[in-house]
Chain A
Amino acid sequence: MRLVALDPSAGRLGLSSGLSLADARARVPELAVFDHDPAADRRWLERLAEACLRYTPMVALDPPDGLVMDISGCSHLFGGEEGLAEDTGRRLRATGMTVRIAAGNTSAAARALARNPWQGGDECKAIRSLGITALELGEEATQALLRAGLKTVGDMAVRPMSGLAARFSGEGVERLRHLLGEVERPIVPIRPPAPVTAERRFAEPVAHTEYALSVLSELVAEVGEEMGRRDIGGRRFDATFFRSDGMTRTLSVETGRPVRDANSVVRLIRERVEGLSDPIDPGFGFDVIRIDVPVIEPLAAAQLKLEGGSISEMQMAALIDRLTTRLGRDRVRRLAPVDTHIPEQAQIALPAVEDMKPAAWQVSEAGEPPSRPLHLFDPPQPIEVMAEVPDGPPHRFKWRQGFHYIRLFEGPERIASEWWRRKDGAVDRPGLTRDYYRVEDARGRRFWIFRHGLYEEKNKPGWYLHGLFA
């Protein structure tokens, strides 16, 4: 085990990361050690990134311990770059973080200035004063550059790029050009900026959730108006509450069709708030509330049909949205067919809020009894069956502590396994065939049972109950 990260006091004791735990303990016996949890670090970094969305919509992660913000056109809202840096630093330090902030013309420059010591006044000089370790080229390449007498970025910048590329590596030159601002590398924001958005900032933090929600309603009305002017509607609405201590809470609602009616969106958001297992905690208050509409679709001005057909459709869509918001996306679904012989895979349940084209379903011929059950068990339920060997019909079976004497049967309907879809499938290893029987017991109940495997495929094939007929 090795040390991954140290706090400043441990650093002062002469420990460094990468040191093995046994050595560190030998030097400092009272060392307090905690397990390294990269996933938790990552989650924490993501939360901090969300908190930084208050400054700009373009925030990117720089794992494991950095954030990159594109503040073009945003800094004047916070009193210039210095004001923005100060505010960011204050909030992040309040969460217990150690923060180094730097601004640069490109993301690479800002990143290098934040992570490395530098001297000099303006950005150009500062970049040139950086040691070449700022290029992060790896041990070997860095050593090669140092041996050639190139100690700072400035040393490299004055030499012709083509020579450097030929002698060292193309990668180093590319990094250098990023640092010098000759090439811009776009950042990948954690959330792409929403096409429609509205926000409100408060001089004094708002400590009441109810008031925050009423402000949110006003914001929804604002984005609704804007969408009305542009003839669009939103399919998703993200409400973000920024707490003054730097934490954020985002609530999303989705709708089955584009909407811009403020009342219905607010109702969905309230539904969402009520359904939360942990209520929104204002803490010391919210100081920014924002609504984003990340997914938009064209929505022409409403025109009501005389017969009311579209009204009932709209009401139905609103009902689906409400149920989806309350129960969750995966709990309100429609069924779609899948082209397969395996019964339990023949249907797929898709969220009802998503668009779906109506599909065709197979039905038996006229006059025939249903060939597929109304209820299907997935996985099938094992049953004990008395049947003729090898492939006779079942006589009696036991399911859930009850015996069923079979009066009528229909079958077998033989369904072979789809070996061409199996991972290890081949013609000579086809998997088990199922023989399905529709049976009716003495009390008139109808079941769908199958034998998993033919006798030539398996020694003692098992029987399963797969479905219940009406």
Chain B
Amino acid sequence: MLEGGFARARLHEFFALDVGDCASAAGFATMLAIRATETEAPLLWLRCDDARRRSGDIYAPGVAELGSDPNRLILAMAPDAVALLRGAADAARCSGLPVLVVECWGKCPALDLTASRRLALAAERSGTTVIMLRADAKPSPSAAETRWAVRAARSAGEAGLPAFEIELLRRRSGPAGMRWHLEWNRDQSIFRDPALSGDLVSRSSRGSAATSAAA
């Protein structure tokens, strides 16, 4: 499923299904960022002041608990959505940055098709994987390679293991509409199917990090 997996150097959108799922979406983005890069590579996380009020600060011990090294994390707080997108456009053009997470709350009229196309083009040219995290927002036309909806799921095995239900809402090249139920394994940095508890997800290969390989 999803041949080639989760392509690097592209723009991907992740919608929190509900405001309450924002932490799950952020966690999912962190995990993808872990999978998409080498362990040492820097990770830039752009947020708005608004995000801090609504979902709190990014907490480094929690980032470490998901299997990422907080030392690689650089946090940038923009005062508003326009500054956020400007910073995102700059960061997406930087080929020294492998992964960029842009957290954007609310409708955000500044993030229109043009802005998203600009980000997608910059990502393709520089090789930066751009993860656009949307909370409290409805999907609108965009130039993203894939668009996902993320919601929290009950943890099946050990209580408190991060688990998600993700749905592929849209894909540029291929069918969409599939759903998965995934659980994150920090020690191996992979997603698993909690029902099977088997390794469903292949390790990332160069050029593409698969989120899910088997059907």
* CB atoms of A363 and B76 under 8 A apart: no
Task: Give the CA-CA distance A361 to B68 in the complex, in Å.
Answer: 10
Selected contact of B23 from candidates A312, A320, A322, A470, CB within 8 Å: A470
Interface centre among A332, A375, A378 (most CB of B within 10 A): A375
* CB atoms of A347 and B60 under 8 A apart: yes
Query: What residues of A have a CB within 8 angstroms of the CB of B94 in the complex?
Result: 315-316, 318-319
Query: What residues of A have a CB within 8 angstroms of the CB of B184 in the complex?
Result: 470
Interface size grouping (class) on chain B: 35 or more
Task: Give the CA-CA distance A335 to B61 in the complex, in Å.
Answer: 10
Selected contact of B55 from candidates A361, A371, A375, CB within 8 Å: A375
Selected contact of A467 from candidates B28, B59, B77, B158, CB within 8 Å: B59
Selected contact of A373 from candidates B42, B62, B78, CB within 8 Å: B62
Task: Give the CA-CA distance A407 to B153 in the complex, in Å.
Answer: 12
Q: Does A362 contact B (CB under 8 A)?
A: yes
Task: Give the CA-CA distance A320 to B94 in the complex, in Å.
Answer: 10
Closest to A348 in B: B60
Task: Give the CA-CA distance A56 to B12 in the complex, in Å.
Answer: 56
Closest to B188 in A: A366
Closest to B162 in A: A470
Q: Does A440 contact B (CB under 8 A)?
A: yes
Interface of B is mostly: mixed
Query: What residues of A have a CB within 8 angstroms of the CB of B70 in the complex?
Result: 335, 337, 347, 361
Query: What residues of A have a CB within 8 angstroms of the CB of B69 in the complex?
Result: 358, 361
* CB atoms of B59 and A372 under 8 A apart: yes
Query: What residues of B have a CB within 8 angstroms of the CB of A318 in the complex?
Result: 94
Q: Does B79 contact A (CB under 8 A)?
A: yes
Closest to B65 in A: A370
Segment with Cβ contacts to A, from B83-91, B136-144, B201-209: B83-91
Using CB atoms and an 8 Å cutoff, list the residues of chain B in contact with chain A: 20-24, 26-28, 30-31, 42, 44, 55-67, 69-71, 73-79, 83, 86-87, 90-91, 94-97, 151-155, 158-163, 184, 186-187
Given pairs A374-B30, A470-B24, 6 additional interface contacts (CB within 8 A): A315-B94, A319-B44, A343-B59, A369-B161, A440-B159, A444-B155
Using CB atoms and an 8 Å cutoff, list the residues of chain A in contact with chain B: 311-316, 318-320, 322-323, 326-327, 331-335, 337, 343, 346-347, 349, 352, 358-359, 361-364, 366-378, 402, 407-410, 438, 440, 443-446, 467-470
The 3 closest A-B pairs by CB, nearest first: A470-B27, A315-B96, A370-B65
